Structure 1
Amino acid sequence: MNISTVEDLFTLFNETALILQEELSCTYLEALAETGENIFHQSVLQEELSELTIKRLKKSYESVNLSKYNVEEIRRSFQLAILKGMQENIQANHQMTPDTIGMLVGYLVNKFVKQPSFRLFDPTIGTGNLLTTVINQQSGKSIDSVGIDIDDLLIKLAYINANLQSHPVQLFNQDSLEPLFIDLVDVVVSDLPYGYYPNDVRSAEYQLKADSGHSYAHHLLIEQSINYTKDGGYLFFIIPNGLFESEEAPKLHQYLNEKAYIQGILQLPLSLFKNEKAAKSILILQKKGIDVKKPKQVLLANLPSLTKAAEVEKMLGKIDVWISENK
């Protein structure tokens, strides 16, 4: 991947978004979605723009040929523009999975999921960065994917993100904990949002509902994801380190014992997070099924700082050995 190429494409996204932001009196992220749509369709779709602005945009769009870029260059440049927009207007639900974590999840999906074609699902897709990072690492595989998010701007950015990278992704703008109108999937990836789910009526439908008060959204999302996964399918969740230490943890343990096998828990390096309380791990589950066997032992690892290449290589080697012995 060429860094200067990523910068060139970011400049295109950024400069044209700024033009649209001013002209349409909207947020930067809304303008970014508009310019992404224009670039994909190779035309200026906003009818309310002045003639001069349309000319400026067309000149910018014509200066770049998307087919010259690979999917990772497109994803990274669009991601940089999204991150810029999020810094302007940070909301709790507008957090993007860091690239290093997304790459690691993609690596794990590639190692665990051997079939040449599979159906992939992210129930908390956000801007689509985690999903497309994972897809981009499954070379030579045919992937049919689906994503859900309750935030209409984030789902629009996910749609643009997928289109620009030519990934066929089916998207739904809805609450992921409501009934879903999707086929069962082979693989789930999700950076689980941490907190309480306010809809107690809906929570009551779940086994992992709290006995009193609001239920944990991250527990319910694990249950919902398992519900929509085929027997033997894999689930890769980015979880808070304290997931199994809360007062609701015994119920989660019991549920997972019934429904799935824990394949692994990989603790991410603390250097990736602002503080220890924000630290996360990757939880790997396999849904139970007739021919699904429990691993001989659970893969447990504390990942080294990702800047220490030799230590990371060594750890990935250990993960490879574990997979070959347990799969």
Structure 2
Amino acid sequence: MNQEVTIEQLFSVFDESAVLLGRALSIAYLEALGETAENLFHGYVMQEELNDMDEKRLQKLYDNVKLDCYSKESIRKSYQLAILKGMKEHVQPNHQMTPDSIGIFISYLIRKSNGNKRTFTLLDPAIGTGNLVMTVLNEFDEMVEAHGVDLDDVLLKLAYAGANMLHHPITLHNQDALERLLIDPVDVVVCDLPIGYYPNDVGAAKYRLKADNGHSYAHHLFIEQSLNHIKPGGQLFFIIPNNLFESVEAKKLQSFLTEEAYIEGVIQLPESLFKNKQAAKSILMMRKKALGVKKPKEVLLASMPSLTDKKAIANIMQKIDRWFSVQQKG
């Protein structure tokens, strides 16, 4: 079956059943989507408060879908489309979903960085709906033990239901990621950094990157918290605003990173992936300092062209491959 047709069919089931559930239970589309994804995973209607007619209509939709017959990518993409529909209704700016192409590219960077390492642990301290992590996990399949943190229980329920449908082992924590985390240090951190101010000044006070005056930048604190929860020599892949090192707190951030980590690369993402030039982002690739870990011979600086320009993409990928080859020979 054509993958596009498969994705469209699955999306239709997610969408129809979420609309039906939302109306029956008087809940928002995104909440209903999390509920219907759980139903699909189990294969039956779990909401006991539904009337017989609604339950039968839902069950008929579910009976037409056997998740085991679909690829993990088809499931993830169709579920993502439904989440995107729900996000258009009401969601905060920080809750934008990370584009697939970025997740696939970060997976490539992790694979190149890890060398022959077969298994690893991963943390996303701002997991949201889980699309970034699920994209990475689909690329590595069963090699990764993952953890995710988010304060928003609706987004976390969507991540939970998505992980179940894709059979990915992931532990989810419903809490403020900048409070104390009961998570052992991991090998890899990936995070689409939440941009803005952290309102909890008392909580921010324990961080070295706290602001001297007023509220601290949440994205700076997330970087510090990530370095607190990664093993020595572990790698971090942050999706950052292009102006990260131009803010009033940038000097403090640069000084902190110089002490704690090696910046291995900054890769500017295509502007076409974002709403406008001001919203454009880059990938910051770092490694936590440790005995035996060497500073890179040079920092990888690259600017990704439009994803439709295949020749330019091939040239950039060759440049990145050469950079990794030089580092690994050293």
TM-score norm. by structure 1 comes to: 0.98
3-state DSSP class of the match of 2:295?
A: coil
Whole-angstrom CA distance in 1 between matches of 2:274 and 2:53: 45
Whole-angstrom CA distance in 1 between matches of 2:295 and 2:201: 34
How far does residue 263 in structure 1 lie from its aligned partner after superposition? 0.4
Asked if 1:291 corresponds to 2:292, the answer is yes
Whole-angstrom CA distance in 1 between matches of 2:48 and 2:250: 53
**Aligned residue in 2 for 1:225:** 226
3-state DSSP class of the match of 1:121?
A: strand
1:1-327 mapped onto 2 (5 Å cutoff): 2-114=3-115, 115-138=117-140, 142-327=143-328
Whole-angstrom CA distance in 1 between matches of 2:323 and 2:269: 18
Whole-angstrom CA distance in 1 between matches of 2:138 and 2:323: 24
Taking only the aligned residue pairs, the percentage that are identical comes to 57
How far does residue 94 in structure 1 lie from its aligned partner after superposition? 2.1
* Structure 1 unaligned regions, length at least 5: none
Q: Is the 8 A contact 1:109 1:134 kept in 2?
A: no
Whole-angstrom CA distance in 1 between matches of 2:286 and 2:168: 25
How far does residue 93 in structure 1 lie from its aligned partner after superposition? 3.1
Segment drifting more, 1-10 vs 257-266: 1-10
How far does residue 90 in structure 1 lie from its aligned partner after superposition? 2.7
Whole-angstrom CA distance in 1 between matches of 2:295 and 2:222: 23
Q: Is the 8 A contact 1:194 1:217 kept in 2?
A: yes
Q: Is the 8 A contact 1:118 1:142 kept in 2?
A: yes
3-state DSSP class of the match of 2:35?
A: helix
User: Which segments of structure 1 move beyond 4 Å, counting only runs of 4 or more?
Assistant: none
Whole-angstrom CA distance in 1 between matches of 2:66 and 2:311: 38
TM-score norm. by structure 2 comes to: 0.97
* Structure 2 unaligned regions, length at least 5: none
Whole-angstrom CA distance in 1 between matches of 2:245 and 2:284: 11
Q: Count the aligned residue pairs.
A: 326
3-state DSSP class of the match of 1:137?
A: helix
Q: Is the 8 A contact 1:110 1:137 kept in 2?
A: no
Whole-angstrom CA distance in 2 between matches of 1:94 and 1:27: 16
How far does residue 108 in structure 1 lie from its aligned partner after superposition? 1.1
How far does residue 86 in structure 1 lie from its aligned partner after superposition? 0.5
* One-letter identity of the residue aligned with 2:260: K
How far does residue 92 in structure 1 lie from its aligned partner after superposition? 2.3
- Per-residue CA deviation, residues 215-262 of structure 1 (Å, 9 max, x unaligned), is 100000000000000011000000000000011001111100100000
Whole-angstrom CA distance in 2 between matches of 1:102 and 1:50: 41
How far does residue 306 in structure 1 lie from its aligned partner after superposition? 0.8
Q: Is the 8 A contact 2:94 2:195 kept in 1?
A: no
